[in-house]
Structure 1
Amino acid sequence: MNRVVVTGLGAVTPLGNDAPSTWAGLAAGRNGVGPLTSFDARSFDVRIAGHVRDFAAPEGVPGRHLSRAASFVVAAAQEAVQDAGDGVMDGDAYRCGVALGGTVGRPELQEAVDMAYRLVRSRGADIPRQSPRDVLLRSQNVALSWVARLAGAAGPMISVSTACAGSAHAVGEAYRRIQEGDADVMLAGGFDALTTWMDVLGFSLLGALTTEHNNEPEAACRPFDATRTGFVLGEGAAVVVLEEREAALARGAEIKAELAGYGSTLNAYRITDSPPDGGGAITAMRDAIADAGLDPRDIDYIAAHGTGTPGNDASETAAIKALFGAYAHELSISSPKSMTGHLTSAAGGVNLIAAIGALREQLVPPTVNLRHPDPELDLDYTPNEARARRVRATLVNAFAFGGTNACLVLR
């Protein structure tokens, strides 16, 4: 099996419009959650989000062909390729591919509602025609196509739609393609922007979003805290360049980390709730660690899914305890979502940036807003301030609605 390394990073997040500023924000415990500005939310119970700010669409791409979320991922991919250095895409184009966890939004449903509203207002006017541009904006695969075109990639193209585990699944599947010799280079990650009125309304009706901190947005996302009441929606994208290790060394690439393990399971429990005992997350973590040829005690830091909902945080903690046993209390754990909000399909990619940063700087980013310890959640969640420690290997967790789980190991 080929060894796989990360040589390029790219990101557009509420903490910054590139990977270095995103990592710097995570390490500093800076919060990117603020007022919801993508629509008039004054009548909504939720009026906050983790918004991308001051973003300029990437050059060379017709903006009319890209949704907001797709613009994020094209920019992140361009950054990742540039960060990977000269020559990364100079090989056989048919051995260079793209794998992305796409948006879990349903813009076609929102458009249908808007269309019905316009018809009612116009009292029976003809149904408005849809332009080709509208179709392109709704397609999950247009973003992948633009990333592939700009990078010169003509190999495997993998579009993943597994909600909040999407980017972690995409990175894992890209890793497999290189590991098994089907590709030499893969651009992998995810993107999302569920900050429309319909997404906020839908998640609110599910009871998943916190409604208690509209006047103090930075205090809203509180993973593992006893006062947590739900997550905060965010938006953005994260992309990494994966390469076969020997080829990366031969071209003199700077290796950020080795991607060494991948595990994926399905809980088959409930659509939204996580199993109280940890369920399939236990097996996904175990499989990823075993795939890396490691023992659970080789892991020093877990970039947790950590959404801030009562059930998810308890389930993830139970899963960690079930797998790691007494060693769970020696681990460092933190949730990047406490600072960015939940980037849904892009969330695993942000966790990947946190894990790589922890490895490179031997620094664990914090879980902010953790002020009230939950007696049922008694692990080290790195409260409020980053902490220096030895980090040999990291585990990235991504657990999604629908019960899909994806875990990655880096060293």
Structure 2
Amino acid sequence: MRRVVITGAGAVTPLGNDAAGTWRGLAAGRSGIGPLTSFDTTGFPVRIGAMVKGFDPATAIPARVGRRHLSRVGQFGVAAAYEAQRSAGLDGPAGAVPPDERGVAMGASVGRPDLRTLLDIGELRASTGRPDAFVPRLPSSTLTDDQNVPLNAMARMFAATGPMIGVSTACSGAGHALGEAFRAIQEGDAQVMLAGGYDSLTTWLDLLGFSLLGALTDRHNDDPTRASRPFDADRSGFVIGEGAAAFVLEDLASARARRAPVLAEVLGYGSSLNAWRITDSPPDGSGAIQAMEGAVAESGLGTGGIDYIVAHGTSTHGNDMSETAAIKKVFGSDAHRLVVSAPKSMAGHLTSASLGLGVLAAIGAIRHSLVPPTINLDHPDRHLDLDYVPHTARRMPVGAALVNAFAFGGSNTSLVIGAYREDS
């Protein structure tokens, strides 16, 4: 079976508009949560979110890609992918890796028309009395809303004519995309895959929908940096966010042949479905247990070989309880030796991109021997008794990390990311 390594990384997140800036934010325990600026939140029960700041597509995306038909979130994804491509040394001629050996796999929400656009169309029809008055706008808006358009842009940018995989499994989207890219390389379908996730659910409809489900915290509108509190006794819901994270996954032989930088190695992938409620995690951690066990088993490390768990850690009551129960079940006596931390305490919930952020945290922890913290863990829940790395990052060697993502709808993914070793 081919070994698969990570040779490039890119990110656009509430903590920074590149991978290095995002890692610095995670390592510093800095919150990227603040007032929502994507719409007027007056009268809404929640007025905060984790938004990308200062992003300029004109400098982040090459002109040859064609930015005209990219949505805002599509721009995040393409920018992260371009950074990953460049950091892997694959932004030059395609000769080093043939186009048919290059592929793209991305997790993202299914594109849908913007409600503001639909309202504008209705007003235009009413004011002109012409049912077809909106027709000239359709080609552009249809392309902008299509989930495949950013993937197509990435494929053209990456000179990729191999596998193209678009995944929409909510919060586990990036996990499935990375896992399927891992499989494609393992099985010889590609030498190199550009993989990750991008998402933005910061519209008024998203906010209202998640608020009505009771999933968002509404207690910290005046103190947003304290809003996301995974594993804390006073947690009251997650914070909606946006962003992208992308990676170049590569067959080790290919990476060695072109002397590519190796950031880490993908060692295992697990996936499962809860067959439980749509919005809740099973209290006993089932589903998550299956995904975690699958990833750890494939890695060949055993539970004793995992040092760090990058938790899904949403700051909802049920998820944090379920994930903790799953960790205890999978790791047994090793559970209290492990360190566990939740990037969502700082970056909010990037939904389809969330596991990508977790992989970035894992790579940083492995390369810098530094585990990012779980901030806002002021009042430990007596039922949650693992080491969640409260408040500040911790210096320690990390040989391998398990990264989790558990989604609405019950889909679960876990990846094991390890330090690259020549002799393994």
Q: TM-score, normalised by structure 1?
A: 0.96
Match of 1:136 among 138, 143, 149: 143
Q: In the alignment, which residue of structure 2 is the partner of 1:126?
A: 131
Q: Tell me how far 1:113 sits from its aligned partner.
A: 5.7
Structure 1 residue 328 displacement after superposition: 0.6
Relative to 1, partners in 2 of residues 1:81 and 1:47: Cα closer, same or farther, differing over 3 Å? same
Match of 1:96 among 102, 108, 133: 102
From 314, 320, 325, the counterpart of 1:307: 314
Q: Tell me, in whole angstroms, the C-alpha distance in 1 between the residues paired with 2:363 and 2:76.
A: 21
What is the match of residue 22 of structure 1? Answer: 22
Find the partner of 2:84 among 68, 80, 86. Answer: 80
Judge conservation of contact 1:394–1:410 (CA < 8 Å) in 2.
yes
The residue aligned with 2:2 is: 2
Structure 1 partner of 2:74: 70
- Give SS of 1:367's match: coil
Identity of aligned residues (%): 59
Cα distance, 1:112–1:25 mapped onto 2, change above 3 Å = closer
Stretches of structure 2 that go unaligned for 5 or more consecutive residues are 419-424
Query: What is the 5 A alignment of 1:291-370?
Result: 291-370=298-377
Question: What code does the residue aligned with 1:235 have?
Answer: E
Checking the alignment, whether the CA contact within 8 Å between 2:371 and 2:395 is kept in structure 1 is yes
**Residues of 2 paired with 1:316 and 1:203: CA distance?**
21
Deviation at 1:362, TM superposition (A): 1.1
CA contact (8 A) 1:69 1:103 kept: no
Shift of residue 137, structure 1, vs aligned partner? 1.0
Q: Within 1, Cα distance between the matches of 2:144 and 2:89?
A: 31
SS at match of 2:9: strand
- Alpha carbons 1:51, 1:234 under 8 Å: kept: yes
User: Is contact 2:269-2:416 (8 Å) kept?
Assistant: yes
> Who is 2:205 aligned against?
198
Paired position in structure 2 for 1:157: 164
1:246-297 residue CA offsets vs partner (Å, 9 max, x unmatched): 2111211111000010000000001000000001100100000111112011
SS of the aligned residue for 1:49 comes to strand
Which amino acid in structure 2 is aligned with residue 80 of structure 1?
A: A
The answer to whether residue 222 in structure 2 is matched with residue 215 in structure 1 is yes
**Cα displacement string for residues 192-211 of structure 1 (whole angstroms, at most 9, x for unaligned residues):** 01111111111111110000
| Paired residue type of 1:100 | M
Change (3 A) 1:13 1:132: same
| 5+ residue gaps, structure 1 | none
- Structure 1 410/88 Cα, relative in aligned 2: closer, same or farther at 3 Å? farther
Deviation at 1:121, TM superposition (A): 6.9
Higher alpha-carbon deviation: 2-11 or 118-127: 118-127
Q: Deviations over 1:123-156 (max 9, x none)?
A: 9663632421100111000000000101101100
SS in structure 1 of the partner of residue 256 of structure 2: helix
User: Which one-letter code corresponds to 2:369 in the other structure?
Assistant: Q
Report if the CA contact (8 A) 2:112-2:146 is conserved.
Answer: no
1:42 equivalent in structure 2:
42
Structure 1, residues 37-80: CA drift from partner, whole Å, max 9, x if none?
Answer: 00001111111111101101123133320001100011111100
In 2, the alpha carbon distance for the partners of 1:157 and 1:401 equals 24
Deviation at 1:348, TM superposition (A): 0.5
Give, as a single letter, the amino acid of the residue that structure 1 aligns with 2:270: G
TM-score computed with the length of structure 2 as normaliser: 0.94
Q: Distance between the aligned counterparts of 1:346 and 1:374, measured in 2? A: 28
CA distance in 1, matches of 2:186, 2:97: 17
Q: Distance in 2 between matches of 1:237 and 1:224?
A: 24
Q: 1:34 to 1:179 in 2, by over 3 A?
A: same
Contact map agreement 1:366 1:384 (CA 8 A) in 2: yes
Contact 2:220–2:226 under 8 Å retained in 1:
yes
Give the alignment's Cα RMSD to 1 decimal.
1.7
CA separation in 1, counterparts of 2:361 and 2:119? 38
SS of structure 2 residue aligned to 1:5: strand
Q: Write out aligned runs for 1:378-397 (5 A).
A: 378-397=385-404
Deviation at 1:169, TM superposition (A): 0.6
SS at match of 1:65: coil
Distance across 2 between alignment mates of 1:331 and 1:310: 22
Question: Contact 1:84/1:241 (CA < 8 Å) preserved in 2?
Answer: yes
Aligned length: 410
1:242-321 to structure 2, matched below 5 A, reads: 242-321=249-328
Structure 1 counterpart of 2:383? 376
In structure 2, relative to structure 1, the CA distance for the partners of 1:268 and 1:109 (3 Å cut) is farther
Question: Distance between the aligned counterparts of 2:258 and 2:125, measured in 1?
Answer: 62
Residue 346 to residue 88, structure 1, CA distance change in 2 (3 Å): farther
- What secondary structure does 1:63 align onto? coil
Which stretch shows the higher mean deviation, 246-255 or 343-352? 246-255
**In structure 2, C-alpha distance between the alignment counterparts of 1:276 and 1:329, rounded to whole Å:** 20
